[in-house]
Structure 1
């Protein structure tokens, strides 16, 4: 039978064990909730692909602006081979007036580059068309660029599949008996409430 001294020592040891357990409990819980992870096993931070694409597109548009800044004067564009309208396979000049829409607004005057139209290819920094809108002083101001490729329904005929520019497929706005061009506008020199790549601009009028 243990004596009084032994009972006292056992009580002290018991209290120490309970205290140690109480102190260790939060640490055990923390380890359970937040298990250790090796640095090499951590997932990389998520990438906002939409933001990355938008940033890349803005860079591309900035390069388009830089490439076309010299064409604010129509005379400079004409000297570089751009002329009002397009001469089709029937030797008829078309798209040579101020293009507008009764509800969507207008585009303006289209100055085509025949050499760029001839190759059925697209270079974002060499748009086939420069679009000018009437200016308050009676002249013309550069408002947009337009990439244009002849389709299989154009005259003369072009490509049978929609080309792309700036990562976007081009579209046919005016099918036969219209010119049936694949095209994409970019309003790099004017605000367009309808959007950067809309065909018409409600703030432009003929």
Structure 2
């Protein structure tokens, strides 16, 4: 396990150093580009330890036994969500509310992405004056709860650990698949 974690930590450290050294408006991406890159590097560093699945569980991320896929008919999935509800409403790059894992082909789980979740202040789907942003990107929503009791919320996905061909902040990743028999009946 230590051998798997070391490359992730090295990559996270390199991203943090690159973000700190990068000029704030690098390559004409605006004044917030440097901050977005730095925050993303911080998220990499903070979640690198969760490459070891047991570390995520020990940190309070509760695994869902079902893999979540795009039910609208497009290809792609989120993977297995692991929520730590003490981080609901966090806009701290080091404290995502959810981690997403996929099957690693050897009976274990591999971290692929993370998510932040912020509750809508007025709980109305028709207003969005409290939409948060992180990494220079607005959260999606407001969205109805995904399960009974979950409030109307905004969500921001970040595919830190597995490239999403649709984009860094898209909800579903076509490079992630649910194995047969692993989805909610």
Q: CA RMSD in A?
A: 2.8
Q: Does 1:105 align with 2:84?
A: no
- TM (norm. structure 2) is 0.67
Structure with more of its chain in helix, by fraction: 1
Alpha-carbon separation, structure 2, partners of 1:174 and 1:100 = 17
Report what 2:57 is aligned to. 78
Report what 1:66 is aligned to. 45
| Aligned pairs for 1:97-136 within 5 A | 97-101=66-70, 102-117=73-88, 120-136=89-105
Alpha-carbon separation, structure 2, partners of 1:115 and 1:177 = 18
Give the secondary-structure state (helix, strand or coil) at the position aligned to 2:29: helix
Q: Is the 8 A contact 2:140 2:156 kept in 1?
A: yes
| Aligned pairs for 1:184-203 within 5 A | 184-203=156-175
Alpha-carbon separation, structure 1, partners of 2:129 and 2:108 = 38
Q: Is the 8 A contact 2:90 2:116 kept in 1?
A: no
**Unaligned segments of structure 1, at least 5 residues:** 1-46, 86-95
Q: CA deviation at 1:146?
A: 0.5
Q: Is the 8 A contact 2:36 2:134 kept in 1?
A: no
Alpha-carbon separation, structure 2, partners of 1:98 and 1:65 = 23
1:138-177 deviations in whole A, cap 9, x for unaligned?
Answer: 32110011011122439xxxx9722222232211274257
Pick from 183, 192, 203: which aligns with 2:155? 183
- TM (norm. structure 1) is 0.61
Query: Quick check: which has more Rg, 1 or 2?
Result: 1
Q: Is the 8 A contact 2:113 2:160 kept in 1?
A: yes
Give the secondary-structure state (helix, strand or coil) at the position aligned to 2:176: coil
Q: CA deviation at 1:195?
A: 0.8
> Residues 142 and 83 of structure 1: is their aligned pair in 2 closer, same or farther, counting only changes over 3 Å?
same
Q: Does 1:204 align with 2:183?
A: no
Alpha-carbon separation, structure 2, partners of 1:77 and 1:153 = 30
Q: CA deviation at 1:126?
A: 1.1
> Residues 66 and 176 of structure 1: is their aligned pair in 2 closer, same or farther, counting only changes over 3 Å?
closer
Alpha-carbon separation, structure 2, partners of 1:177 and 1:205 = 20
Aligned residue pairs, count: 145
Q: CA deviation at 1:181?
A: 2.6
**Unaligned segments of structure 2, at least 5 residues:** 1-25, 179-185
